[in-house]
Amino acid sequence: MNSSLAAYIEETASKLARVRPEMVQTFKQCYPNTLDTTVERLHDDTTFIITGDIPAMWLRDSSAQIRPYARLAGKDDELAAMFRGTIERQAAYLAIDPYANAFNREANGNGHQSDATKMGPWIWERKYELDSLCYPVQLCKDYFDATGDVTVFTPAFHWMLRRIVDTMSTEQRHEELSAYRFEREDILLPSDTLPFGGRGTKVNFTGMIWSAFRPSDDACKFGYLIPANMFAAVVLGHIAEFAITAYGDETLAADALRLKKDVEFGIETYGVVDHPRYGRMYAYETDGFGNYNLMDDANVPSLLSIPYLGYRPADDETYKRTRAFILSKDNPYYAEGRFARGVGSPHTPLGYVWPIGLIVQGLTSTDAAEKRDIVDMLARTTAGTDYMHESFDPDRPETYTRPWFAWANSLFGQFLADWVNEQNID
Protein backbone atom coordinates (compact mmCIF):
# COMPACT_ATOMS: atom_id res chain seq x y z
CA MET A 1 0.00 0.00 0.00
CA ASN A 2 1.42 3.41 -0.92
CA SER A 3 2.14 5.99 1.75
CA SER A 4 -0.54 8.57 0.93
CA LEU A 5 -3.29 5.94 0.89
CA ALA A 6 -2.04 4.42 4.15
CA ALA A 7 -1.96 7.86 5.76
CA TYR A 8 -5.49 8.64 4.58
CA ILE A 9 -6.78 5.32 5.91
CA GLU A 10 -5.14 5.83 9.30
CA GLU A 11 -6.39 9.41 9.59
CA THR A 12 -9.94 8.36 8.76
CA ALA A 13 -9.77 5.30 11.02
CA SER A 14 -8.60 7.48 13.90
CA LYS A 15 -11.66 9.70 13.53
CA LEU A 16 -13.93 6.72 13.09
CA ALA A 17 -12.62 5.12 16.29
CA ARG A 18 -14.05 8.04 18.26
CA VAL A 19 -17.61 7.62 16.98
CA ARG A 20 -17.94 4.06 15.61
CA PRO A 21 -14.99 1.98 16.85
CA GLU A 22 -16.65 -1.29 15.79
CA MET A 23 -16.38 -0.17 12.15
CA VAL A 24 -12.67 0.63 12.08
CA GLN A 25 -11.65 -2.84 10.94
CA THR A 26 -14.39 -2.91 8.29
CA PHE A 27 -13.20 0.41 6.89
CA LYS A 28 -9.55 -0.66 6.90
CA GLN A 29 -10.40 -3.84 5.01
CA CYS A 30 -12.92 -2.41 2.56
CA TYR A 31 -11.49 0.90 1.40
CA PRO A 32 -8.24 -0.44 -0.12
CA ASN A 33 -9.77 -3.74 -1.25
CA THR A 34 -9.86 -2.83 -4.95
CA LEU A 35 -6.20 -1.81 -4.95
CA ASP A 36 -5.14 -4.80 -2.86
CA THR A 37 -6.92 -7.50 -4.84
CA THR A 38 -8.07 -6.46 -8.32
CA VAL A 39 -5.53 -4.06 -9.86
CA GLU A 40 -2.66 -5.25 -12.05
CA ARG A 41 -0.12 -2.90 -13.64
CA LEU A 42 1.06 -4.38 -16.93
CA HIS A 43 4.38 -4.10 -18.77
CA ASP A 44 2.94 -1.55 -21.20
CA ASP A 45 2.10 0.76 -18.24
CA THR A 46 -1.63 0.18 -18.63
CA THR A 47 -3.81 -1.08 -15.79
CA PHE A 48 -5.97 -4.20 -15.86
CA ILE A 49 -8.71 -4.36 -13.22
CA ILE A 50 -10.86 -7.42 -12.59
CA THR A 51 -14.28 -7.10 -10.92
CA GLY A 52 -13.36 -9.57 -8.19
CA ASP A 53 -14.32 -13.17 -8.83
CA ILE A 54 -14.46 -12.84 -12.66
CA PRO A 55 -11.11 -12.58 -14.53
CA ALA A 56 -12.22 -9.88 -16.97
CA MET A 57 -12.24 -6.08 -17.03
CA TRP A 58 -15.64 -4.43 -17.18
CA LEU A 59 -15.59 -0.82 -18.38
CA ARG A 60 -18.16 0.04 -15.71
CA ASP A 61 -16.75 -1.85 -12.75
CA SER A 62 -13.12 -0.93 -13.39
CA SER A 63 -14.12 2.74 -13.33
CA ALA A 64 -16.46 2.49 -10.36
CA GLN A 65 -13.97 0.47 -8.31
CA ILE A 66 -11.24 3.13 -8.44
CA ARG A 67 -13.34 6.32 -8.45
CA PRO A 68 -13.18 6.50 -4.63
CA TYR A 69 -9.39 6.97 -4.86
CA ALA A 70 -9.46 9.86 -7.34
CA ARG A 71 -9.40 12.37 -4.48
CA LEU A 72 -5.94 11.09 -3.52
CA ALA A 73 -4.43 10.89 -7.02
CA GLY A 74 -3.18 14.47 -6.98
CA LYS A 75 -0.97 13.68 -3.98
CA ASP A 76 0.33 10.27 -5.00
CA ASP A 77 2.36 9.45 -8.12
CA GLU A 78 1.66 5.72 -7.85
CA LEU A 79 -2.09 6.23 -7.74
CA ALA A 80 -1.89 8.74 -10.58
CA ALA A 81 -0.03 6.21 -12.74
CA MET A 82 -2.68 3.60 -11.96
CA PHE A 83 -5.42 5.98 -13.12
CA ARG A 84 -3.55 6.91 -16.30
CA GLY A 85 -3.02 3.24 -17.07
CA THR A 86 -6.71 2.47 -16.57
CA ILE A 87 -7.81 5.34 -18.79
CA GLU A 88 -5.35 4.28 -21.51
CA ARG A 89 -6.53 0.66 -21.45
CA GLN A 90 -10.19 1.64 -21.51
CA ALA A 91 -9.55 3.82 -24.57
CA ALA A 92 -7.86 0.88 -26.28
CA TYR A 93 -10.79 -1.40 -25.45
CA LEU A 94 -13.35 1.04 -26.82
CA ALA A 95 -11.30 1.30 -30.02
CA ILE A 96 -11.74 -2.48 -30.37
CA ASP A 97 -15.51 -2.46 -29.85
CA PRO A 98 -17.76 0.21 -28.26
CA TYR A 99 -20.55 -2.37 -27.87
CA ALA A 100 -18.61 -4.72 -25.58
CA ASN A 101 -18.98 -4.38 -21.83
CA ALA A 102 -16.09 -6.59 -20.66
CA PHE A 103 -12.66 -7.42 -22.06
CA ASN A 104 -9.81 -9.88 -21.63
CA ARG A 105 -6.33 -9.07 -20.39
CA GLU A 106 -4.97 -10.03 -23.79
CA ALA A 107 -6.41 -11.47 -27.02
CA ASN A 108 -6.86 -14.94 -25.49
CA GLY A 109 -10.41 -15.71 -26.62
CA ASN A 110 -11.75 -16.19 -23.09
CA GLY A 111 -15.32 -15.38 -22.16
CA HIS A 112 -18.67 -15.84 -23.87
CA GLN A 113 -17.38 -16.64 -27.35
CA SER A 114 -20.47 -18.69 -28.24
CA ASP A 115 -22.83 -15.71 -28.00
CA ALA A 116 -24.60 -14.79 -31.24
CA THR A 117 -23.05 -11.36 -31.69
CA LYS A 118 -19.82 -9.99 -33.16
CA MET A 119 -17.29 -11.47 -30.73
CA GLY A 120 -13.49 -11.37 -30.91
CA PRO A 121 -10.49 -12.66 -28.90
CA TRP A 122 -10.21 -9.47 -26.83
CA ILE A 123 -13.89 -9.50 -25.85
CA TRP A 124 -15.10 -11.35 -22.76
CA GLU A 125 -18.72 -10.28 -23.20
CA ARG A 126 -20.56 -8.11 -25.72
CA LYS A 127 -23.64 -6.97 -23.85
CA TYR A 128 -24.17 -3.40 -25.03
CA GLU A 129 -24.79 -1.23 -21.98
CA LEU A 130 -25.05 2.53 -22.36
CA ASP A 131 -23.36 3.14 -19.02
CA SER A 132 -20.23 1.32 -20.27
CA LEU A 133 -19.69 4.23 -22.66
CA CYS A 134 -20.14 6.72 -19.83
CA TYR A 135 -17.94 5.41 -17.03
CA PRO A 136 -14.51 5.83 -18.74
CA VAL A 137 -15.29 9.49 -19.48
CA GLN A 138 -16.47 10.11 -15.92
CA LEU A 139 -13.34 8.42 -14.58
CA CYS A 140 -11.14 10.74 -16.64
CA LYS A 141 -13.16 13.74 -15.43
CA ASP A 142 -12.66 12.71 -11.79
CA TYR A 143 -8.95 12.14 -12.33
CA PHE A 144 -8.35 15.35 -14.26
CA ASP A 145 -10.26 17.46 -11.73
CA ALA A 146 -8.13 15.97 -8.93
CA THR A 147 -4.77 16.26 -10.68
CA GLY A 148 -4.89 18.65 -13.65
CA ASP A 149 -2.86 16.03 -15.50
CA VAL A 150 -3.22 16.77 -19.24
CA THR A 151 -1.14 13.76 -20.31
CA VAL A 152 -4.30 11.60 -20.32
CA PHE A 153 -5.57 13.53 -23.35
CA THR A 154 -3.85 11.37 -25.93
CA PRO A 155 -4.87 10.82 -29.57
CA ALA A 156 -6.33 7.46 -28.49
CA PHE A 157 -8.50 9.15 -25.87
CA HIS A 158 -9.64 11.69 -28.47
CA TRP A 159 -10.63 8.83 -30.77
CA MET A 160 -12.47 7.18 -27.86
CA LEU A 161 -14.55 10.31 -27.30
CA ARG A 162 -15.42 10.48 -31.00
CA ARG A 163 -16.40 6.80 -31.06
CA ILE A 164 -18.58 7.17 -27.97
CA VAL A 165 -20.54 10.07 -29.48
CA ASP A 166 -20.91 8.25 -32.81
CA THR A 167 -22.14 5.07 -31.11
CA MET A 168 -24.60 6.99 -28.94
CA SER A 169 -25.88 8.83 -32.03
CA THR A 170 -26.42 5.54 -33.86
CA GLU A 171 -28.30 4.10 -30.90
CA GLN A 172 -30.58 7.14 -30.79
CA ARG A 173 -32.10 5.57 -33.88
CA HIS A 174 -31.60 1.94 -33.00
CA GLU A 175 -34.41 0.62 -35.17
CA GLU A 176 -33.13 2.26 -38.36
CA LEU A 177 -29.34 2.48 -37.95
CA SER A 178 -28.01 -0.13 -35.53
CA ALA A 179 -26.47 -3.41 -36.62
CA TYR A 180 -26.15 -4.62 -33.00
CA ARG A 181 -27.62 -8.03 -32.17
CA PHE A 182 -27.19 -10.24 -29.12
CA GLU A 183 -28.45 -13.73 -28.33
CA ARG A 184 -27.21 -16.32 -25.84
CA GLU A 185 -28.39 -19.90 -26.01
CA ASP A 186 -27.05 -21.28 -22.74
CA ILE A 187 -28.93 -19.05 -20.29
CA LEU A 188 -29.88 -19.29 -16.63
CA LEU A 189 -32.45 -16.49 -16.87
CA PRO A 190 -34.37 -14.91 -19.77
CA SER A 191 -32.62 -11.63 -18.92
CA ASP A 192 -29.32 -13.07 -20.21
CA THR A 193 -30.40 -12.62 -23.83
CA LEU A 194 -32.38 -10.26 -26.08
CA PRO A 195 -35.72 -11.29 -27.63
CA PHE A 196 -36.84 -10.91 -31.24
CA GLY A 197 -33.76 -12.26 -32.91
CA GLY A 198 -31.39 -10.37 -30.64
CA ARG A 199 -32.89 -6.97 -31.46
CA GLY A 200 -34.76 -6.39 -28.20
CA THR A 201 -38.22 -4.92 -27.85
CA LYS A 202 -39.19 -2.24 -30.36
CA VAL A 203 -38.68 1.44 -29.45
CA ASN A 204 -39.92 4.75 -30.81
CA PHE A 205 -37.61 7.71 -31.43
CA THR A 206 -37.46 9.96 -28.35
CA GLY A 207 -34.05 11.64 -28.50
CA MET A 208 -32.77 9.20 -25.88
CA ILE A 209 -30.13 6.51 -26.47
CA TRP A 210 -31.09 2.84 -26.66
CA SER A 211 -29.44 0.30 -24.36
CA ALA A 212 -29.64 -3.47 -24.64
CA PHE A 213 -28.68 -4.25 -21.06
CA ARG A 214 -28.76 -2.62 -17.64
CA PRO A 215 -25.69 -2.07 -15.43
CA SER A 216 -26.64 -5.37 -13.78
CA ASP A 217 -25.93 -7.07 -17.16
CA ASP A 218 -29.65 -7.98 -17.29
CA ALA A 219 -31.57 -7.25 -20.48
CA CYS A 220 -33.66 -4.09 -20.50
CA LYS A 221 -37.43 -4.62 -20.52
CA PHE A 222 -37.80 -1.43 -22.56
CA GLY A 223 -34.90 0.00 -24.54
CA TYR A 224 -34.63 3.48 -23.06
CA LEU A 225 -33.01 3.02 -19.66
CA ILE A 226 -33.65 6.35 -17.96
CA PRO A 227 -30.81 6.45 -15.39
CA ALA A 228 -28.28 5.42 -18.05
CA ASN A 229 -29.52 8.24 -20.27
CA MET A 230 -29.16 10.64 -17.36
CA PHE A 231 -25.56 9.51 -16.96
CA ALA A 232 -25.03 9.93 -20.71
CA ALA A 233 -26.35 13.50 -20.58
CA VAL A 234 -23.83 14.36 -17.85
CA VAL A 235 -20.96 12.63 -19.63
CA LEU A 236 -21.73 14.30 -22.96
CA GLY A 237 -21.14 17.59 -21.21
CA HIS A 238 -17.72 16.33 -20.12
CA ILE A 239 -16.96 15.21 -23.68
CA ALA A 240 -17.80 18.66 -25.02
CA GLU A 241 -15.51 20.20 -22.39
CA PHE A 242 -12.61 17.87 -23.22
CA ALA A 243 -13.16 18.33 -26.96
CA ILE A 244 -12.57 22.08 -26.69
CA THR A 245 -10.03 22.39 -23.88
CA ALA A 246 -7.86 19.39 -24.75
CA TYR A 247 -8.22 19.06 -28.51
CA GLY A 248 -9.79 22.22 -29.93
CA ASP A 249 -12.31 19.97 -31.67
CA GLU A 250 -15.35 22.20 -32.14
CA THR A 251 -17.16 19.62 -34.27
CA LEU A 252 -16.98 16.95 -31.56
CA ALA A 253 -18.07 19.46 -28.93
CA ALA A 254 -21.07 20.55 -31.03
CA ASP A 255 -22.06 16.95 -31.71
CA ALA A 256 -21.85 16.08 -28.00
CA LEU A 257 -23.88 19.09 -26.91
CA ARG A 258 -26.54 18.48 -29.55
CA LEU A 259 -26.86 14.89 -28.40
CA LYS A 260 -26.95 15.97 -24.74
CA LYS A 261 -29.85 18.34 -25.52
CA ASP A 262 -31.75 15.56 -27.32
CA VAL A 263 -31.24 13.13 -24.46
CA GLU A 264 -32.36 15.59 -21.79
CA PHE A 265 -35.47 16.44 -23.83
CA GLY A 266 -36.23 12.75 -24.17
CA ILE A 267 -35.82 12.07 -20.46
CA GLU A 268 -38.03 14.94 -19.35
CA THR A 269 -40.66 14.35 -22.06
CA TYR A 270 -40.87 10.56 -22.26
CA GLY A 271 -39.26 9.43 -19.00
CA VAL A 272 -41.55 11.15 -16.49
CA VAL A 273 -44.83 9.57 -15.39
CA ASP A 274 -47.73 10.65 -13.17
CA HIS A 275 -47.90 8.15 -10.34
CA PRO A 276 -51.20 8.06 -8.42
CA ARG A 277 -49.41 8.06 -5.06
CA TYR A 278 -46.10 9.87 -5.64
CA GLY A 279 -46.96 12.36 -8.38
CA ARG A 280 -44.62 13.19 -11.25
CA MET A 281 -41.59 10.93 -11.02
CA TYR A 282 -39.03 9.24 -13.26
CA ALA A 283 -39.64 5.81 -14.73
CA TYR A 284 -36.79 3.29 -14.82
CA GLU A 285 -37.36 2.37 -18.48
CA THR A 286 -39.65 3.32 -21.34
CA ASP A 287 -40.00 2.45 -25.02
CA GLY A 288 -41.28 5.80 -26.29
CA PHE A 289 -44.65 4.24 -27.12
CA GLY A 290 -46.17 4.97 -23.71
CA ASN A 291 -45.02 1.82 -21.91
CA TYR A 292 -43.06 2.22 -18.65
CA ASN A 293 -41.22 0.08 -16.16
CA LEU A 294 -41.59 1.49 -12.65
CA MET A 295 -38.81 0.11 -10.47
CA ASP A 296 -35.21 0.74 -9.50
CA ASP A 297 -32.17 -1.50 -9.40
CA ALA A 298 -29.30 -1.09 -6.93
CA ASN A 299 -26.71 -1.15 -9.73
CA VAL A 300 -25.39 2.29 -10.68
CA PRO A 301 -26.55 4.18 -12.70
CA SER A 302 -29.88 3.94 -10.93
CA LEU A 303 -32.69 6.39 -10.30
CA LEU A 304 -31.61 6.55 -6.66
CA SER A 305 -28.14 7.66 -7.81
CA ILE A 306 -29.36 10.71 -9.80
CA PRO A 307 -27.51 13.27 -7.59
CA TYR A 308 -24.42 11.01 -7.48
CA LEU A 309 -24.45 10.96 -11.29
CA GLY A 310 -24.74 14.75 -11.35
CA TYR A 311 -27.95 14.87 -13.39
CA ARG A 312 -30.11 16.62 -10.77
CA PRO A 313 -29.44 17.78 -7.19
CA ALA A 314 -30.82 15.93 -4.19
CA ASP A 315 -33.39 18.66 -3.54
CA ASP A 316 -34.90 18.43 -7.03
CA GLU A 317 -38.63 17.87 -6.58
CA THR A 318 -39.00 15.19 -9.25
CA TYR A 319 -36.04 13.34 -7.79
CA LYS A 320 -37.46 13.57 -4.27
CA ARG A 321 -40.75 12.04 -5.43
CA THR A 322 -38.87 9.35 -7.33
CA ARG A 323 -36.74 8.63 -4.27
CA ALA A 324 -39.86 8.22 -2.12
CA PHE A 325 -41.13 5.59 -4.57
CA ILE A 326 -37.77 3.78 -4.75
CA LEU A 327 -37.50 3.50 -0.96
CA SER A 328 -40.95 1.98 -0.58
CA LYS A 329 -42.62 -1.36 -1.16
CA ASP A 330 -44.09 0.07 -4.36
CA ASN A 331 -40.64 -0.52 -5.85
CA PRO A 332 -40.70 -4.27 -6.58
CA TYR A 333 -37.00 -4.54 -5.72
CA TYR A 334 -37.16 -2.82 -2.34
CA ALA A 335 -36.93 -5.19 0.61
CA GLU A 336 -37.21 -4.98 4.40
CA GLY A 337 -36.04 -7.37 7.08
CA ARG A 338 -34.95 -7.50 10.72
CA PHE A 339 -31.45 -6.17 10.02
CA ALA A 340 -31.79 -3.92 7.00
CA ARG A 341 -34.09 -2.33 4.45
CA GLY A 342 -33.10 -1.09 1.03
CA VAL A 343 -32.95 -1.59 -2.72
CA GLY A 344 -32.04 -4.89 -4.33
CA SER A 345 -32.00 -6.16 -7.90
CA PRO A 346 -33.64 -8.74 -10.17
CA HIS A 347 -30.06 -9.92 -10.76
CA THR A 348 -30.03 -11.52 -7.29
CA PRO A 349 -32.65 -13.39 -5.21
CA LEU A 350 -35.88 -11.48 -4.67
CA GLY A 351 -36.00 -9.87 -1.24
CA TYR A 352 -32.23 -9.39 -0.94
CA VAL A 353 -30.73 -5.96 -0.21
CA TRP A 354 -27.61 -4.63 -1.93
CA PRO A 355 -24.92 -2.81 0.10
CA ILE A 356 -24.27 -0.67 -3.02
CA GLY A 357 -27.93 0.37 -2.89
CA LEU A 358 -27.59 1.33 0.77
CA ILE A 359 -24.33 3.18 0.12
CA VAL A 360 -25.81 5.16 -2.77
CA GLN A 361 -28.80 5.98 -0.59
CA GLY A 362 -26.34 7.37 1.96
CA LEU A 363 -24.26 9.27 -0.59
CA THR A 364 -27.38 10.98 -1.96
CA SER A 365 -29.10 11.66 1.38
CA THR A 366 -29.37 15.15 2.87
CA ASP A 367 -30.64 13.80 6.20
CA ALA A 368 -28.12 13.12 8.98
CA ALA A 369 -30.40 10.60 10.72
CA GLU A 370 -30.89 8.64 7.51
CA LYS A 371 -27.14 8.48 6.92
CA ARG A 372 -26.54 7.28 10.48
CA ASP A 373 -29.21 4.61 10.04
CA ILE A 374 -27.48 3.40 6.86
CA VAL A 375 -24.14 3.23 8.65
CA ASP A 376 -25.82 1.09 11.31
CA MET A 377 -27.35 -1.26 8.73
CA LEU A 378 -24.05 -1.73 6.90
CA ALA A 379 -22.24 -2.36 10.18
CA ARG A 380 -24.54 -5.19 11.23
CA THR A 381 -24.80 -7.01 7.91
CA THR A 382 -21.22 -8.02 7.03
CA ALA A 383 -21.90 -11.49 8.49
CA GLY A 384 -18.74 -11.21 10.56
CA THR A 385 -16.52 -10.83 7.50
CA ASP A 386 -15.96 -7.05 7.76
CA TYR A 387 -16.57 -6.89 3.99
CA MET A 388 -19.49 -5.71 1.90
CA HIS A 389 -21.15 -8.27 -0.36
CA GLU A 390 -23.12 -8.09 -3.57
CA SER A 391 -26.44 -8.71 -1.77
CA PHE A 392 -27.75 -10.29 1.41
CA ASP A 393 -30.92 -11.55 3.04
CA PRO A 394 -32.04 -8.70 5.35
CA ASP A 395 -33.41 -11.25 7.84
CA ARG A 396 -30.32 -13.49 7.67
CA PRO A 397 -27.27 -11.41 6.63
CA GLU A 398 -25.08 -14.51 6.82
CA THR A 399 -26.84 -15.58 3.61
CA TYR A 400 -25.30 -13.46 0.87
CA THR A 401 -24.06 -13.46 -2.73
CA ARG A 402 -20.47 -12.86 -3.91
CA PRO A 403 -18.12 -12.82 -0.91
CA TRP A 404 -15.61 -10.79 -2.98
CA PHE A 405 -17.12 -7.68 -4.57
CA ALA A 406 -14.52 -4.94 -4.73
CA TRP A 407 -16.84 -2.23 -6.08
CA ALA A 408 -19.05 -2.44 -2.98
CA ASN A 409 -16.02 -2.44 -0.70
CA SER A 410 -14.28 0.63 -2.08
CA LEU A 411 -17.54 2.58 -2.47
CA PHE A 412 -18.40 1.78 1.14
CA GLY A 413 -15.00 3.13 2.15
CA GLN A 414 -15.73 6.38 0.33
CA PHE A 415 -19.15 6.72 1.97
CA LEU A 416 -17.85 5.99 5.46
CA ALA A 417 -14.94 8.43 5.04
CA ASP A 418 -17.34 11.14 3.87
CA TRP A 419 -19.70 10.39 6.73
CA VAL A 420 -17.05 10.52 9.43
CA ASN A 421 -15.69 13.80 8.05
CA GLU A 422 -19.18 15.27 8.31
CA GLN A 423 -19.05 14.62 12.07
CA ASN A 424 -16.52 17.46 12.42
CA ILE A 425 -14.12 15.47 14.58
CA ASP A 426 -10.94 17.40 15.41
| Per-residue pLDDT, 1 | 63
Residue among 139, 127, 157 at smallest CA distance from 235: 139
Strands (E), 30-156: 39-41, 47-49, 57-58, 102-103, 123-125
pLDDT at 426 over 90: no
More confident residue, 52 or 274: 274
| Per-residue pLDDT, 187 | 86
How far apart are the C-alpha atoms of 279 and 286, rounded to whole Å? 17
How far apart are the C-alpha atoms of 218 and 228, rounded to whole Å? 13
Residue among 403, 283, 297, 314 at smallest CA distance from 353: 297
Neighbour count for residue 335 (Cβ, 10 Å): 23
Cα-only R_g, the chain: 21
State the pTM of this model: 0.97
| Per-residue pLDDT, 3 | 75
| Per-residue pLDDT, 68 | 97
Angle between helices 155-172 and 250-270 (to 10 degrees): 40
| Per-residue pLDDT, 188 | 79
Angle between helices 130-147 and 226-245 (to 10 degrees): 40
| Per-residue pLDDT, 212 | 98
State the chain's mean pLDDT as an integer.
96
Q: What single letter denotes the amino acid at residue 41?
A: R
Question: 362: which residues sit within 8 A by CB, 6+ positions away?
Answer: 370, 371, 374, 375, 415, 419
Question: 114: which residues sit within 8 A by CB, 6+ positions away?
Answer: 184, 185, 186
Residue among 254, 302, 303 at smallest CA distance from 282: 303
Tens-digit pLDDT profile for residues 359-411:
999 999 999 999 999 999 999 999 999 999 999 999 999 999 999 999 999 99
- Left (φ > 0), alpha (ψ -120 to 50) or beta: where does 217 sit? left
Residue among 98, 95, 111 at smallest CA distance from 46: 95
How far apart are the C-alpha atoms of 421 and 15, rounded to whole Å? 8
| Per-residue pLDDT, 28 | 97
Mean of pLDDT values over 247-256 = 98
| Per-residue pLDDT, 53 | 79
- At residue 424 the predicted structure's pLDDT band, cuts being 50, 70 and 90, is confident
Tens-digit pLDDT profile for residues 60-104:
999 999 999 999 999 999 999 999 999 999 999 999 999 999 999
How far apart are the C-alpha atoms of 416 and 426, rounded to whole Å? 17
| CA 1 remoteness from chain centre | 25
Q: What single letter denotes the amino acid at residue 82?
A: M
| Per-residue pLDDT, 40 | 97
Q: What single letter denotes the amino acid at residue 327?
A: L
Tens-digit pLDDT profile for residues 161-217:
999 999 999 999 999 999 999 999 988 788 999 999 999 999 999 999 999 999 999
Mean of pLDDT values over 117-138 = 98
| Per-residue pLDDT, 302 | 98
pLDDT at 341 over 70: yes
User: What number of residues does the chain have?
Assistant: 426
**Cα torsion angle, 152, 155, 156, 162, sign:** positive
pLDDT at 425 over 80: no
- At residue 52 the predicted structure's pLDDT band, cuts being 50, 70 and 90, is confident
Mean of pLDDT values over 315-339 = 98
| Per-residue pLDDT, 111 | 97
Cβ–Cβ < 8 Å for 49, 64: no
| Domains of the chain (ranges, CATH numbers) | 1-30+333-426 (no CATH), 45-331 (1.50.10.10)
How far apart are the C-alpha atoms of 28 and 287, rounded to whole Å? 44
Tens-digit pLDDT profile for residues 6-44:
999 999 999 999 999 999 999 999 999 999 999 999 999
